[in-house]
Amino acid sequence: MRLTSALRAATGGALLLAATVALAGCGGSFDSGVTAPSPSASVKVQAATSPSPTTSPACVNPSTQASYTLAGARILAGNLQVKDLKVGTGATAVTGNTVSVSYVGSLPNGKVFDNSVNDNAGKPISLKIASGSVIQGWVEGIPGMKVGGQRELVIPPALGYGCVSPSSSIPVNSTLIFTITLVGVG
């Protein structure tokens, strides 16, 4: 009798489920006897084309504190720092809108990890300001901007990519700094 059948018969499956989950977390299996290859062995990293959210596997406690302080910034929920560099005069962005933006994303050390000028043939990027479409720091930091405005956001890891690295240029648990120009709404 295989070990899985014996465990299922003896415990009604509860112990099997717990043991299977534990083994799967380590890359193993009761039935196959084969260990899965390390996830890093064949992971292909792709450069970000916009600050899209990343699905987080078992991310534990990304920091809610930014490692950079923006002088003169307002502090919003989640310790998001927001500073208007230029207030626009056009339509106002609200959560749920599709907006066109130009942006530069950098780390506190000044290293630029993304620049929309390099994406989309130099044209502004269109994206929806909604959870699941962009990182949470953008969902909370862009609403209220007016077309023609420019805003700087300092996003703590918990509102950015957290414990996940979307590219080799963004370490896990990174504070993200974005300078965003709102080009259009709708």
Q: Residue 120 maps to which CATH number?
A: 3.10.50.40
Residues 22-68: pLDDT tens digits? 323 333 333 333 333 333 333 333 334 456 555 444 456 888 988 88
| Residue whose pair of structure tokens reads 């991310």 in the numeric block | 59
Instruction: Please list, in sequence order, all residues whose beta carbon lies within 8 angstroms of the beta carbon of residue 56, skipping any fewer than 6 positions away.
Output: 162, 163, 164
Residue 62, in any domain of the structure? no
Residues 74-125: pLDDT tens digits? 999 999 999 999 999 999 999 999 999 999 999 999 999 999 988 888 899 9
Q: Are strands 98-106 and 125-128 parallel, antiparallel or unpaired?
A: antiparallel
Residue 84, in any domain of the structure? yes
Give the number of other CB atoms < 10 A from CB of residue 156: 23
Query: Please, are residues 76 and 61 in contact by the beta-carbon 8 Å criterion?
Result: no
What's the residue count for the chain?
186
Residue 48, in any domain of the structure? no
Residue 65, in any domain of the structure? no
Residues 115-169: pLDDT tens digits? 998 888 889 999 999 999 999 999 999 999 999 999 999 999 999 999 888 889 9
The boundaries of the domain holding residue 15 are: 3-41
> Are 26 and 79 part of one and the same domain?
no
Residues 66-82: pLDDT tens digits? 888 999 999 999 999 99
The angle formed by the CA atoms of residues 112, 101 and 82, to the nearest 5 degrees, is 70
User: In whole angstroms, what separates CA 114 from the centre of its chain?
Assistant: 13
| Residue whose pair of structure tokens reads 């596997």 in the numeric block | 57
H/E stretch holding 5: helix 3-11
> Are 36 and 83 part of one and the same domain?
no
Residue 107, in any domain of the structure? yes
Give the number of other CB atoms < 10 A from CB of residue 6: 11
Residue 58, in any domain of the structure? no
Residue 49, in any domain of the structure? no
